[in-house]
């Protein structure tokens, strides 16, 4: 069974700035609690999740459509991968950002809360980065 979590927000930043924040290792660590993502961002390419000097996780790029969609499969250790998909949609005055987190297994209230606590904090940090990069 797969459990899908959906998060969304609007930013005044254009999709190009959002895409840069999602794929630039210098920026990912600012909103992923110090974890930087390293990849060439082509479908099928590896993604390395690095915390400091330690490789924290590995995965693969499932889809990469610049300024539109980025999907990653994060290795699940001994089980199926977690799929994280960012969708960007241009809207009047900015970009709608949707994040889907597809996790294997049955969901319980504790797991849902853990996923929300992790990703909502990251999304708040990402929104701050994007807001700082948009001229007023």
Q: Determine the pLDDT at residue 2.
A: 84
Mind listing the pLDDT tens digit for each residue in 55-72? 989 999 999 999 999 999
Domains, the chain, with CATH or none: 2-132 (3.30.530.20)
Tell me the average pLDDT across 18-23. 96
Q: Are 86 and 8 in contact, with CB atoms under 8 Å apart?
A: no
| Residue 40 to residue 77: CA distance in whole angstroms | 23
Q: Are 94 and 13 in contact, with CB atoms under 8 Å apart?
A: yes
At 109, the pLDDT band (50, 70, 90 cuts) reads low
- Which tokens sit at 16? 């190009």
Q: Determine the pLDDT at residue 112.
A: 80
- Which tokens sit at 113? 């809360």
Q: Determine the pLDDT at residue 43.
A: 97
Q: Are 50 and 35 in contact, with CB atoms under 8 Å apart?
A: yes
pLDDT at 136 over 70: no
| Average pLDDT over the chain, rounded to an integer | 91
| Residue 57 to residue 76: CA distance in whole angstroms | 9
- pTM, two decimal places: 0.90
Query: Phi and psi dihedrals of 84, rounded to 5?
Result: -115, 120
Q: Determine the pLDDT at residue 134.
A: 66
């Amino acid at each position: 069974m797969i459990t899908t979590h959906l998060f969304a927000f609007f930013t005044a930043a254009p999709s190009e700035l959002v895409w840069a924040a999602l794929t630039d290792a210098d920026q990912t660590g600012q909103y992923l609690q110090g974890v930087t993502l390293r990849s060439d961002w082509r479908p099928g390419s590896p993604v390395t999740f690095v915390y400091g000097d330690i490789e924290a996780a590995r995965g693969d790029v499932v889809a990469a459509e610049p300024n539109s969609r980025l999907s990653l499969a994060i290795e699940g250790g001994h089980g199926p991968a977690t799929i994280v998909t960012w969708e960007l949609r241009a809207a009047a005055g900015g970009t709608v950002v949707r994040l889907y987190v597809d996790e294997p297994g049955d969901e319980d209230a504790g797991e849902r809360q853990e996923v929300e606590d992790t990703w909502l904090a990251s999304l708040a940090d990402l929104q701050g980065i994007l807001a700082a990069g948009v001229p007023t």
